[in-house]
């Protein structure tokens, strides 16, 4: 009897021919979305945290962000893997550390590039990508482009994990299961299989504690407030476990940097009194007692901070009926 995952069901419903190519004939795109690899590495890190393992979840993430096996495909040397595709929103130059930039520069100088500043090379590659298309990039350009995006996402992981500890963990009253395997059969003996991220007792906004099928998500966009009740996957898992609530814990990949500037000459903090915003001036623009601008150099720092959205809702009976009809 057939055993299908939720993603396989969705592929079949959207295009049976695509399902046939992918699952029966094994004709698959060799590329993999960086979002999928990043999300899986974060899942492993957060699972270790929820299971109470005596390990640093960031260490778990870093290990999986180097080499990982996702959906049966193993991806080695993820930092420079030619088959990993990144989105523009993955990159944030402000998060790259000096050691990252030094490593990147060493790597691209080995291939013959002589750019003094890695960002100049990145912009050059990005222009080619935008004007001619990704497929027109050379392998060296793809490796450098991927490496810089890989480092950016690597630096996003720490504030995301910290935000999860601060926002999500206090809302979890009890962890019942993590990565639980399920198989939901229909009357014909066909099975829908999958792994539930977690089954937890979660504290609602009003203080009520409910048992929920919960899923960790990493995203660059906001999830709608009704995303739980619309989720086929959460509904399938809820039916399998006879649980009536679902939850999404959404870690946002857009990092708030909390930039600060301090003038090395006069100590000005760079906050303009009239707007209460950080000045964009390249040198200190405070006017001193002699009526002249300071023009001192800035020391700039950032304190990266991630946002987490918690969406908990009751799985609607009508959604369960629709999913049940699909499974039949």
Residues 328 and 326: their CA atoms lie apart, in Å, by 5
pLDDT > 70 in the chain, percent: 83
pLDDT interval class at 186 (50, 70, 90) = low
Q: What is the pLDDT of residues 113-140, one digit of tens each?
A: 999 999 999 999 999 999 999 989 999 9
pLDDT interval class at 4 (50, 70, 90) = very low
Q: What is the pLDDT of residues 199-210, one digit of tens each?
A: 999 999 999 999
For the chain, the straight-line distance linking the first and the last C-alpha, in angstroms and rounded, comes to 13
Q: Pairing mode, if any, of strands 245-252 and 68-70?
A: unpaired
Residues 115 and 103: their CA atoms lie apart, in Å, by 14
Q: What is the pLDDT of residue 29?
A: 54
pLDDT interval class at 219 (50, 70, 90) = very high
Q: What is the pLDDT of residue 236?
A: 85
Q: What is the pLDDT of residue 1?
A: 42
DSSP state of 299: E
List residues bridging with 316 in a β-sheet: none
Q: What is the pLDDT of residue 97?
A: 96
Q: What is the pLDDT of residue 31?
A: 67
Q: What does pLDDT average to over the chain?
A: 87
Q: What is the pLDDT of residue 21?
A: 43
Give me the mean pLDDT over the 67-71 stretch. Answer: 75
Reported as type and span, the H/E element at residue 153 is helix 139-163
- Lowest mean pLDDT of 101-105, 110-114, 232-236, 241-245, name the range: 232-236
The C-alpha R_g of the chain, in whole angstroms, comes to 24
Give me the mean pLDDT over the 179-202 stretch. Answer: 80
pLDDT > 90 in the chain, percent: 66
Total-model pTM:
0.84
Q: Is the four-CA dihedral 252, 152, 73, 44 of positive or negative sign? A: negative
Residues 6+ apart with CB under 8 A from 102: none
Q: What is the pLDDT of residues 31-58, one digit of tens each?
A: 689 999 999 999 999 999 999 878 999 9
Q: What is the pLDDT of residue 325?
A: 57
Q: What is the pLDDT of residues 240-290, one digit of tens each?
A: 899 999 999 999 999 999 999 999 999 999 998 888 889 989 999 999 988
């Amino acid at each position: 009897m057939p055993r299908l995952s939720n993603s396989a069901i969705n592929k079949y419903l959207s295009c049976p021919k695509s399902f046939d190519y992918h699952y029966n004939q094994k004709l698959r795109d060799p590329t993999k979305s960086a979002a999928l690899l990043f999300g899986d590495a974060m899942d492993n890190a957060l699972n270790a945290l929820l299971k109470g393992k005596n390990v640093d979840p960031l260490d778990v993430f870093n290990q999986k962000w180097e080499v990982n096996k996702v959906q049966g495909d193993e991806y080695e040397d993820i930092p420079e893997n030619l088959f990993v595709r990144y989105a523009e929103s993955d990159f944030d130059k402000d998060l790259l550390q000096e050691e990252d930039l030094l490593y990147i520069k060493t790597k691209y100088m080995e291939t013959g590039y002589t750019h003094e500043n890695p960002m100049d090379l990145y912009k050059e590659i990005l222009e080619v990508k935008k004007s001619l298309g990704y497929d027109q990039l050379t392998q060296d350009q793809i490796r450098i482009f991927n490496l810089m995006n890989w480092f950016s996402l690597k630096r996003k992981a720490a504030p995301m994990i910290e935000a999860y500890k601060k926002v999500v963990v206090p809302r979890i009253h009890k962890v019942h299961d993590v990565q639980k395997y399920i198989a939901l059969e229909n009357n014909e003996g066909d099975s829908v299989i999958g792994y539930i991220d977690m089954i937890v007792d979660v504290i609602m906004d009003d203080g009520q504690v409910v048992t929920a099928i919960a899923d960790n998500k990493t995203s660059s966009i906001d999830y709608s407030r009704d995303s739980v009740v619309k989720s086929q996957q959460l509904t399938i898992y809820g039916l399998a476990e006879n649980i009536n609530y679902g939850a999404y814990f959404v870690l946002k990949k857009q990092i708030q940097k909390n930039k600060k500037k301090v003038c090395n000459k006069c100590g000005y903090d760079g906050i303009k009194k009239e707007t209460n915003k950080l000045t964009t001036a390249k040198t200190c623009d405070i006017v001193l007692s002699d009526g002249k601008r300071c023009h001192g150099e800035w020391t700039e720092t950032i304190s990266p901070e991630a946002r987490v959205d918690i969406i908990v809702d009751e799985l609607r009976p009508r959604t369960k009926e629709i999913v049940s009809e699909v499974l039949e």
